[in-house]
Amino acid sequence: MNIGVVGAGYVGLVTAVCLAEVGHNLKVVEVNAEKVEKLNNGECTIYEAGLTELLQNNIQAGRLNFTNHLTDMINDCEAIFLCVGTPPKEDGSADLSQIEAAVKEIVAQSNEGQYKLIVVKSTVPVGTADWLKEIVSSHATGRQVIEIASNPEFLREGVAVNDFMEPDRIILGVSSIEGKRLLEKLYEPFACPKIITDSNTAEVIKYAANSFLATKISFINMVSDLCEEVAADVSQVAEGMGYDKRIGPEFLKAGIGFGGSCFPKDLSAFLHVGQARGLNFGLLEQVISVNEERPARIQKKIESLVGPLKGKTIAFLGLAFKANTDDVRESPSAKLAALLKKEDVTIRATDPMASANFKAMYAPLAQSMDFFESAEETLKGSDCAVILTDWEHYKAIDWNKIKTIMNRAAVVDARNLYTEQNLRQLGYSYAGVGKELEKLEGVF
Ligand SMILES: NC(=O)c1ccc[n+]([C@@H]2O[C@H](COP(=O)([O-])OP(=O)(O)OC[C@H]3O[C@@H](n4cnc5c(N)ncnc54)[C@H](O)[C@@H]3O)[C@@H](O)[C@H]2O)c1
Ligand SMILES: O=c1ccn([C@@H]2O[C@H](COP(=O)(O)OP(=O)(O)O[C@H]3O[C@H](CO)[C@@H](O)[C@H](O)[C@H]3O)[C@@H](O)[C@H]2O)c(=O)[nH]1
């Protein structure tokens, strides 16, 4: 099938590459000319495991290309996926201006008489597809046959290719037999449950899924605070809860809280959607509030190990909002850095993939920080190491050697990457999240 994608960001690029991989012909329109040039040369614009190889293979196979102009692709494609941004407005609601502009452009450029399905993959509030249908009918000049469908995306950054190729489910919010048939044919190569529904239901599924996952995280973070008070171990609490099939083990890792381009913005938007209808969505307010307190809690842990912060040097291991991505949107590291800078702290920072993005996105803050390539270089002369991103290779750091180059042997492990006993045996003062095992040492 000939398919178009609007927006070559994290979702658009992965969608296009993966749909090309299963045999479709993809044309991607992206406003950023630099991205288009790089992508057509087979250069991946995001760090995502396995993506570069698939990008290059599919360009070579002639199934994938990128352009700056909608006119280059619009009338060849039966389905056009919208993968543009839906960032938060100041009041927390979703800004749909990129979606609106893209739909108006598609309508303006579409040939008359030709059926076209616009598929909204961006995360949008309930009612968006219906609103877009009104825009289409009020802007269509003649006999364009343009339909809107909703197909929310559930991929996670870092494992996006795998998530796209082997999804847990596919949600198809459609309003006609023609739209349903087209999407079923398009997704035929994917063997997973497919839920065919209306667009309102599809839109609610996406926000509800993200809000539920974020609720699990804030719940375990709340419990982890209690564990610290009563000398219990949150990792074992999560394990003990997770074996219950009704709860499940995923998304129960306590830490510095959730970040990224999705959970914070989608929770705010879902809260806004509920409140706008006069409903009690206070549960989500609490989920957000627990999450917002996490960086300050980590700051307190640093203080508990090194004393007053003024004039101290703190080493940040990790700037990405989680491992295996170069994305720093809503990164907890930026929130902690802003708090520590108020205390006149020197921050030395490193990340294997995300330093450049961090410097670009948090320019004024980043200018007051020092960046290094390796963890070892970053830790030199520091008073405390803070593990902020759960990069696997941080597990292999030789902390025995590092002790000799740090100013003080102290580690705050905001991701519970290490076992406290090991670091304490090496002579470190150590604080994880949700475990004050010092009190239990010698018992187990
Ligand atoms: N990032 C994720 O993991 C993820 C997962 C699922 C859903 N989503 C949702 O998908 C949407 C996109 O997210 P993202 O992370 O890919 O965003 P992004 O900012 O990485 O990418 C959006 C891209 O669209 C381009 N763009 C904007 N308007 C355009 C237009 N009119 N024509 C062509 N290109 C245009 C931008 O230049 C940018 O490259 C959001 O609604 C997000 O909530 C994101
Ligand atoms: O047990 C956990 C799991 C995650 N996190 C944090 O939660 C955030 C989000 O993690 P994750 O969900 O893995 O990353 P995203 O790539 O943001 O993916 C989420 O957001 C996407 C955009 O909507 C959805 O498509 C995905 O299904 C949804 O998992 C990160 O800061 C993680 O460090 C925790 O603190 N504890």
Beta strands in 310-414 (DSSP E): 313-317, 346-350, 370-371, 384-387, 410-413
Please indicate whether residue 391, judged by its CB atom, sits closer than 6 Å to ligand 2. no
Distance in Å from the first CA to the final CA of the chain: 60
Please indicate whether residue 156, judged by its CB atom, sits closer than 6 Å to ligand 2. yes
Amino acid letter for position 169: R
pLDDT, one tens digit per residue, over 365-386 is 999 999 999 999 999 999 999 9
The best mutation among 83, 161, 207, 265 to test binding of ligand 1, ranked by most ligand atoms within 8 Å of the C-beta, falls on 83
Whether 142 has a pLDDT exceeding 60, the answer reads: yes
Whether 107 has a pLDDT exceeding 60, the answer reads: yes
Please indicate whether residue 219, judged by its CB atom, sits closer than 6 Å to ligand 2. no
205: which residues sit within 8 A by CB, 6+ positions away? 152, 171, 195, 197
Cα 178 from Cα 185, distance rounded (Å): 11
23 is in an annotated binding site: no
The best mutation among 151, 217, 292 to test binding of ligand 2, ranked by most ligand atoms within 8 Å of the C-beta, falls on 217
**In this structure, are residues 405 and 379 in contact, taking their beta carbons and an 8 Å threshold?**
yes
Of 444 and 389, the structure prediction assigns the larger pLDDT to 389
| Region of residue 442 (left: phi > 0; alpha: psi -120 to 50; beta: else) | left
399: which residues sit within 8 A by CB, 6+ positions away? 411, 422, 423, 426, 428
Positive or negative torsion for Cα 131, 134, 139, 141: positive
48's tokens: 């995502």
Task: Characterize 17-40 residue by residue with b for buried, 16 or more Cβ atoms within 10 angstroms of its Cβ, and e for exposed.
Answer: bbbbbeebbbbbbbbeeebbeebe
DSSP code per residue over 153-183: ----TTSHHHHHHS-S-EEEE-SSHHHHHHH
pLDDT, residue 438, reads 53
Whether 112 has a pLDDT exceeding 90, the answer reads: no
Whether 440 has a pLDDT exceeding 50, the answer reads: no
pLDDT, residue 439, reads 52
Taking the model in full, what pTM does it have? 0.96
Whether 44 has a pLDDT exceeding 90, the answer reads: yes
Whether 61 has a pLDDT exceeding 50, the answer reads: yes
pLDDT, one tens digit per residue, over 330-346 is 999 999 999 999 999 99
Whether 443 has a pLDDT exceeding 50, the answer reads: no
Cα 388 from Cα 322, distance rounded (Å): 8
191's tokens: 């063997």
Pairing of strands 346-350, 410-413: unpaired
Active-site residue flag, 262:
yes
Please indicate whether residue 217, judged by its CB atom, sits closer than 6 Å to ligand 2. yes
For residue 362, the CA-to-ligand 2 centroid distance in Å is: 21
pLDDT, one tens digit per residue, over 19-28 is 999 999 999 9
pLDDT, one tens digit per residue, over 148-202 is 999 999 999 999 999 999 999 999 999 999 999 999 999 999 999 999 999 999 9
Task: Categorize the per-residue pLDDT at 444 as very low, low, confident or very high, splitting at 50, 70 and 90.
Answer: very low
**In this structure, are residues 231 and 440 in contact, taking their beta carbons and an 8 Å threshold?**
yes
Cα 56 from Cα 41, distance rounded (Å): 8
pLDDT, residue 241, reads 98
83's tokens: 């993968």
Task: Categorize the per-residue pLDDT at 115 as very low, low, confident or very high, splitting at 50, 70 and 90.
Answer: confident
For residue 333, the CA-to-ligand 1 centroid distance in Å is: 23
Closest ligand 2 atom to residue 206 Cα is 23
265 is in an annotated binding site: yes
Q: Give the DSSP H/E element, type plus range, for residue 204.
A: helix 199-230
Whether 209 has a pLDDT exceeding 50, the answer reads: yes
pLDDT, residue 442, reads 44
Whether 144 has a pLDDT exceeding 80, the answer reads: no
Q: What is the mean pLDDT of residues 103-112?
A: 89
74's tokens: 């619009």
